[in-house]
């Protein structure tokens, strides 16, 4: 029998929210991270913030914890506008966060970690020890907090003696020590075992009862559906929608996350793939990835999509000889090869352009020429004696090809713009004349213009018969550029798509590990 | 300001200071810039120059070798003992022997740093004491004095070749080898890349362990060569030879603009840094400035050089931070 009137679940929380964000904007040079972010959290409520990589979730966390300041928009706590200039400000307002990687001091005790930056101090005049750390109070308060979390941890243990899960609990205790009313959990289960995740569920339930509002960020849908009351979906820095978790299923959530029209045009020219150049069979190592198999042909772009930590870069590093796989085979041009170091990879005409160019790519204190020729020295000068004219010819060739803007090829790399540094880094690998080039997040953190240049360049490369592996966390990029896409999740290849079968929903679902 | 121009400036600045000091001293004591005295200075600075050039390779790859002076003492003692027991040996063989002893000691450092992965400052602090101790043991605590060394052994560094002492020629040879090595040899380029960004170097296929072994081997071999030269020149071998000289060697590098943070440094700068030290120690007494002032001046020079360096590094660091786009 139907009720006469159906009262729909209201997307507006019943209780007065503690925290409200509206119209938040935030830009970085060349990148607009947030265009219109909206969010509210009421006491005792768990809100899931969902969105793809790059949707702006981390930026929101950083704004809420006072690390970034928004360019526009309002942030209200208890209906009062607030400005968070620092993490200390956020603490004072009762906002605390547990980060993806715990930020902790291994050599200090549990109690010291909890109260770092706000040690209880002794009262009284300084000559009676006033103002010094009140160790007794610190220990007893730490003990109380840990008891509240039902954790059996001695506050005097050094942090390094704890397990990853226990460290997480210490992080939560640290957040509670600030009398947090809003607790932000950013991928809190990423490194926890199943049992530890259940402990965390219990803790979250306890916090809810105590009236803490929780912002929960996770890529795992099962956790979102187990723990959260409401969801807020973000896409490309925009608020998309919100509602009660009870009213949606994971498919609906996924389509809200990815439901976009591809506004960017990708300069992908269709090429006819040639013969197979690389075959990887059941590659694995004990901790990071396993049973990875794929083949790559000339003139083909093979996309690797997955969440951060899915093991994509780790596979590439193993192929390039930075690490060594313990299982499986790698065949280049049909011949099995053992690649123990990058030198041997380059000798097999396979190169890897790593993700973090500042750390792993450029030598800022050296000139464009010296950077560009560095990986080619062994090939160009087998007897180890340099020839300046040859070096300059090579530099000119690739400098011009990649349109590096510089006063002279002798200019130091540190004097170039980020985009131009990047061109030099890509150029130095191309100068080795590879057959196979692996690009790991080649457009991460660069402006739209440089992005388009990199995409155009990739098309040019496959037209010339190179085989390209594109590792990217940006769905439009990986879909726009790739002939085929492999999706990795927790170190394994979960799905493979070609141009006719790829759809944003299917890719995201595979990447999140759902079936 | 570009680091390159900046470095060039530093080198010009250093050269100007050298000229100014020489001119000032010559004004009070004109014989100072006489040919004889300049030759003396060249001879005096040769050991410091070649050892500083070798050390600059170590520092450039983010390491340091504190054991070089102790290596000089031990290799020198070994050479003196050899010559004492086999006075008929041709001197080039004695020289080769000292160099090989130094090379072996350098390889000990290299293995500790590159393979055992002990930080170089700790590893060489240990071997520094070890080498000095062995010098004492090798001679049973006795000194090898002038009358125990053969005439040929003592005369070799002072042999006149085309108007310059052999010792001075060794300095010249050292500079030429260093220039060729850093400019025209791939390995020299790779050392700089390794010091400038070890992680990028790894991706390029540069092997850190091999290169570290190499720089410590070079520093050791050069110290061994200088061990014989030192003992022959000052006609004495004992465990206190070249005591504290490692600090002068490192000071020459630092004053010459070799960055302790790695990746930055030049042959010209290092040579000028060494000449600066020799000038301070040789010239100031000529005009009657107290030795206390010498050490103070050297200290001030080191600090100003490091401040200039730090400023250079800081701009680099700042750029790096400012350019890094925040995650979003």
pLDDT computed for residue A4 by the predictor: 41
Residues 6+ apart with CB under 8 A from A336: A329, A330
A90-94, A305-309, B280-284: which is most confident: A90-94
Sign of the C-alpha dihedral, residues A215, A220, A226, A232? positive
Residue B31 exposed, middle or buried by CB count within 10 Å (0-12, 13-18, 19+): exposed
As a whole number of angstroms, the distance between CA A319 and CA A383 comes to 27
Region A312-328 average pLDDT: 91
Say if B202 is an interface residue toward chain A (CB within 8 Å): yes
pLDDT digits (tens, 9 = 90+) for A148-160: 888 888 999 998 8
Comparing CB atoms, the residue among A362, A363, A384 nearest residue B187 is A384
From the number of C-beta atoms within 10 Å of its C-beta (0-12, 13-18, 19+), residue A116 rates as middle
More confident residue, A103 or A443: A443
pLDDT mean over A427-451: 83
pLDDT in tens, A255-276: 888 765 444 567 676 777 889 9
User: A439-474: buried (b, 16+ CB within 10 Å) or exposed (e) per residue?
Assistant: bbbbbbbbbeebbebbbebbbebbeeebbbbbbbbb
**Facing residue for B199 by CB, picked from A320, A360, A364:** A360
Q: Which residues contact B56 (CB under 8 A, 6 or more apart)?
A: B253, B256, B258, B265, B267, B270
- Neighbouring residues of A387: CB distance < 8 A, sequence distance ≥ 6: A380, A381
Contact residues, chain B, for A33 at CB < 8 Å = 326, 328
* A456-465, B5-14, B108-117: range with lowest mean pLDDT: B5-14
User: pLDDT higher for A1 or A230?
Assistant: A230
Helix (H) or strand (E) run with residue B130 in it: helix B120-138
How far from chain centre, in Å, is Cα A376? 32
Residue with structure tokens 């807020």?
Answer: A232
The tens digit of pLDDT for each residue in A481-509 reads 999 999 999 889 999 999 888 888 888 88
Q: How confident is the model at residue B63 (pLDDT cuts 50, 70, 90)?
A: very high
Looking at residue B7, what is its pLDDT?
53
Structure confidence at residue B232 (pLDDT): 94
Nearest chain A residue (CA) to B187: A384
Distance CA A17, CA B34 (A): 88
- Beta partners for residue B237, in sequence order: B144
How far is B176 from B169, CA to CA, in rounded Å?
10
Q: Which residue in A61, A351, A374 has the most chain B C-beta atoms within 10 A of its own C-beta, making it the best mutation to test that interface?
A: A374
pLDDT score recorded for residue B318:
40
Least confident of B78-87, B188-197, B275-284: B275-284
**Contacts of residue B189 in chain A, CB cutoff 8 Å?**
370, 374, 377, 386
> Is residue A2 very low, low, confident or very high in pLDDT (cuts 50, 70, 90)?
very low
Residue A2, C-beta contacts closer than 8 angstroms, at least 6 positions apart? none
Q: Is the pLDDT of residue A3 over 50?
A: no
Chain B residue numbers with beta carbons less than 8 Å from the beta carbon of A28 are 325-326, 328
User: Which tokens go with B42?
Assistant: 């060249």
Say if the ipTM goes beyond 0.90.
no
Report CB contact under 8 Å: B325, A30: yes
Select from A354, A365, A382 the residue whose CB has the most chain B CBs within 10 Å, as the one to mutate to test that interface. Answer: A365
3-state secondary structure at position A121: strand
| B205 contact A CB<8A | yes
The CA-based dihedral angle spanning residues A316, A317, A320, A323, taken in that order and rounded to the nearest 10 degrees: -140
Instruction: State residue B321's pLDDT score.
Output: 40
Query: Is the Cβ of B204 closer than 8 Å to some Cβ of chain A?
Result: yes
Confidence of residue B312 (pLDDT cuts 50, 70, 90): low
- Mind telling me how many Å the CA of B156 is from chain A's nearest CA? 33
pLDDT at A354: 87
State how far the Cα of A26 lies from the Cα of A37, in Å rounded to an integer. 9
Spell out the alpha helix ranges (H) of A304-355. Answer: 312-320, 342-347
Q: Compute the count of residue pairs across chains A and B with CB atoms less than 8 Å apart.
A: 120
> Looking at A257-266, A380-389, B48-57, which range is the least confident one?
A257-266
Per the CB < 8 A criterion, the answer to whether B204 and A375 are in contact is yes
Q: Roughly how many angstroms between the first and final C-alpha of chain A, as a whole number?
A: 35
pLDDT value at position A515?
56
Q: How far is B295 from chain A (nearest CA, A)?
A: 32
- Measured from the Cβ of residue B14, the count of other Cβ atoms closer than 10 Å reads 22
| Domains delineated in chain A | 29-108+164-258 (3.40.50.300), 273-349+435-447+462-515 (3.40.50.300), 360-433 (no CATH)
Measure in Å the smallest separation between the Cα of A318 and chain B Cα atoms: 12
Strand arrangement of the beta sheet that strand A80-81 belongs to: A80-81, A72-77, A19-28, A31-41, A238-244, A230-235, A46-50, A213-217, A182-186, A95-98
Nearest to B320 by CA among A425, A405, A413: A413
Residue A40: beta bridge partners?
A20
- Domains plus CATH for chain B? 3-323 (1.10.3470)
Contact assignment for A411 to B200 by CB distance below 8 Å = no
| DSSP class of B142 | -
- C-alpha–C-alpha distance, residues B95 and B88, integer Å: 14
Average pLDDT, chain A: 85
Which of A354, A370, A385 is closest, CB to CB, to B185? A385
- What distances in angstroms separate CA B223 from CA B53, B70, B127, one per listed residue? 11, 9, 14
> At residue B146, does pLDDT exceed 90?
no
Instruction: Give A370: exposed, middle or buried? Use CB within 10 Å, 0-12, 13-18, 19+.
Output: buried
SS3 A245: helix
Q: What is the pLDDT of residues B219-268, one digit of tens each?
A: 999 999 999 999 999 999 999 999 999 999 999 999 998 988 888 889 99
Minimum mean pLDDT range among A101-110, A218-227, A295-304, B7-16: B7-16
Average pLDDT estimate for A167-192: 83
**Looking at residue B6, what is its pLDDT?**
57
Q: What is the mean pLDDT of residues B178-182?
A: 95
Q: How confident is the model at residue B136 (pLDDT cuts 50, 70, 90)?
A: very high
- Distances in whole angstroms, Cα of residue A305 to Cα of each of A313, A343, A471, A490, A505: 11, 27, 6, 12, 13
Q: Residue A360's pLDDT band (boundaries 50, 70, 90)?
A: confident
Q: Choose the closest CB to B328 out of A54, A322, A359.
A: A54
What number of helices (H) and strands (E) belong to chain A?
A: 18, 20
Per-residue confidence band for A448, with pLDDT thresholds at 50, 70 and 90: low
The answer to whether the beta carbons of residues A436 and A278 sit under 8 Å apart is yes
Exposed (0-12), middle (13-18) or buried (19+): which is A417, by Cβ within 10 Å?
middle
Structure tokens at A129: 């020890």
A182, A19 Cβ separation under 8 angstroms: yes
Indicate whether B3 pLDDT > 60. Answer: no
Q: Encoding tokens for residue A467?
A: 């085989």
User: CB contact, 8 Å: A59 with chain B?
Assistant: yes
Per-residue pLDDT band at B169 (split at 50, 70, 90): very high
Structure confidence at residue B311 as a pLDDT band (50, 70, 90)? low
Beta-carbon contacts of residue B308 (< 8 Å; ≥ 6 apart) = B10, B257
Tokens 């006489």 belong to residue: B34
Confidence of residue B8 (pLDDT cuts 50, 70, 90): low
Q: Which of A350-359, A503-512, B58-67, B265-274 has the lowest mean pLDDT?
A: A350-359
Mean pLDDT of A182-202: 80
Interface of A with B in 217-236 (CB under 8 A): none
Plot region of B215 (φ>0 → left; ψ -120 to 50 → alpha; else → beta): alpha
Average pLDDT over residues A102-125: 84
Q: What is the pLDDT of residue B9?
A: 67
Residue A100 has a pLDDT of 60
Residues 169-198 of A with CB under 8 A from B: none
Q: What is the mean pLDDT of chain B?
A: 87
Task: Find out whether B57 and B65 touch, Cβ atoms under 8 Å.
Answer: no
Confidence of residue A7 (pLDDT cuts 50, 70, 90): very low
Q: Output the pLDDT for position A1.
A: 39
**Which has the higher per-residue pLDDT, A382 or B110?**
B110
């Amino acid at each position: 029998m139907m009720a006469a009137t159906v009262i729909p679940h209201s997307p507006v929380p019943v209780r007065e929210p503690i925290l409200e964000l509206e119209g938040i904007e935030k830009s970085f040079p060349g990148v607009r991270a947030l265009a219109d972010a909206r969010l509210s959290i009421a006491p005792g409520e768990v809100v899931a913030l969902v969105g793809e990589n790059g949707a702006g979730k981390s930026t929101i966390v950083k704004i809420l914890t006072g690390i970034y300041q928004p360019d526009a928009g309002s942030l209200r706590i208890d209906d009062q506008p607030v400005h968070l200039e620092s993490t200390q400000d956020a603490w004072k307002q009762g906002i605390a966060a547990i980060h993806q990687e715990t930020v902790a001091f291994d050599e200090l005790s549990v109690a010291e970690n909890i109260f770092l930056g706000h040690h209880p101090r002794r009262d009284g005049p300084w000559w009676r020890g006033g103002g010094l750390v009140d160790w007794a109070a610190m220990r007893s308060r730490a003990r109380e907090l840990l008891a509240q979390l039902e954790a059996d941890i001695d506050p005097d243990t050094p942090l390094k003696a704890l397990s990853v899960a226990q460290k997480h609990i210490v992080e939560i205790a640290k957040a509670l020590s600030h009398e947090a009313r809003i607790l932000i959990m950013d991928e809190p289960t990423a490194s926890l075992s199943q049992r530890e995740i259940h402990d965390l569920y219990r803790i979250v339930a306890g916090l809810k009862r105590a009236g803490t509002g929780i912002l929960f960020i996770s890529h795992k849908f099962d956790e979102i559906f187990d723990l959260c009351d409401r969801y807020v979906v973000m896409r490309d820095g925009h608020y998309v929608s919100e509602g009660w978790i009870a009213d949606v299923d994971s498919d609906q959530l996924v389509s809200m996350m990815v439901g976009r029209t591809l506004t960017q045009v990708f300069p992908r020219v269709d090429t006819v793939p040639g013969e197979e150049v690389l075959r990887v069979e059941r590659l694995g190592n004990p901790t990071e990835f396993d049973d990875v198999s794929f083949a790559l042909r000339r003139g083909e772009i093979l996309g690797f999509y997955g969440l951060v930590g899915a093991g994509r870069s780790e596979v590439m590093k193993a192929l390039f000889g930075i690490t060594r796989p313990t299982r499986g085979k790698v065949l280049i041009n049909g011949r099995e090869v053992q690649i123990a170091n990058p030198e041997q990879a380059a000798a097999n005409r396979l190169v890897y352009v790593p993700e973090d160019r500042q750390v792993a790519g450029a030598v800022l204190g050296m000139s464009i020429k010296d950077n560009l020729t560095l990986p080619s020295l062994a090939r160009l000068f087998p007897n180890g004696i340099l020839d300046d004219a040859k070096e300059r010819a090579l530099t000119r060739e690739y400098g011009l090809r990649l349109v590096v803007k510089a006063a002279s090829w002798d200019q130091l790399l540190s004097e170039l713009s980020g985009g131009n540094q990047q061109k030099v880094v890509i150029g130095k690998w191309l100068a080795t004349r590879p057959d196979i080039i692996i690009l790991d997040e080649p457009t991460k953190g660069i402006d739209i213009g440089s992005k388009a240049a990199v995409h155009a360049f990739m098309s040019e490369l496959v037209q010339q018969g190179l085989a390209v592996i594109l590792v990217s966390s940006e769905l439009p990029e990986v879909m726009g550029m790739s002939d085929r896409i492999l999706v990795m999740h927790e170190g394994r290849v979960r799905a493979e798509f070609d141009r006719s079968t790829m759809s944003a929903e299917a890719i995201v679902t595979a990447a999140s590990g759902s079936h | 300001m570009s680091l390159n121009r900046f470095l060039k400036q530093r080198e010009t600045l250093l050269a100007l200071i050298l000229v100014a000091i020489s001119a000032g001293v010559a004004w009070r004591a004109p014989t100072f810039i006489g040919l004889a005295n300049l030759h003396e200075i060249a001879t005096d600075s040769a050991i410091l120059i070649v050892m500083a050039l070798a050390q600059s390779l170590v520092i450039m790859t983010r390491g340091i070798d504190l054991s070089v002076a102790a290596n000089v003492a031990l290799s020198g003692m070994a050479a003196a003992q050899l010559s004492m027991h086999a006075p008929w040996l041709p001197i080039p063989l004695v020289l080769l022997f000292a160099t090989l002893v130094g090379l072996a000691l350098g390889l000990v450092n290299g293995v500790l740093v590159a393979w055992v992965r002990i930080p170089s400052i700790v590893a060489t602090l240990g071997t520094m004491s070890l080498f000095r101790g062995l010098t004492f043991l090798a001679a049973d605590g006795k000194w090898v004095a002038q009358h125990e060394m053969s005439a040929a052994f003592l005369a070799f560094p002072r042999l006149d070749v085309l108007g310059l002492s052999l010792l001075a020629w060794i300095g010249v040879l050292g500079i030429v080898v260093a220039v060729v090595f850093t400019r025209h040899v791939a390995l020299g380029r790779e050392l700089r890349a390794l010091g400038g960004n070890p992680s990028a170097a790894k991706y390029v296929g540069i092997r850190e362990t091999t290169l570290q072994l190499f720089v410590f081997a070079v520093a050791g071999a050069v110290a061994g060569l200088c061990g014989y030269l030192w003992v022959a020149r000052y006609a004495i071998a004992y465990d206190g030879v070249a005591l504290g000289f490692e600090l002068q060697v490192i000071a020459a590098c630092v004053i010459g603009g070799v960055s302790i943070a790695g990746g930055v440094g030049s042959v010209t700068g290092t040579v000028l840094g060494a000449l600066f030290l020799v000038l301070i120690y040789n010239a100031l007494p000529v005009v009657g400035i107290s030795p206390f002032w010498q050490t103070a001046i050297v200290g001030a020079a080191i600090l100003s050089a490091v401040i200039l360096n730090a400023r250079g590094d800081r701009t680099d660091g700042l750029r790096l931070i400012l350019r890094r786009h925040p995650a979003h």
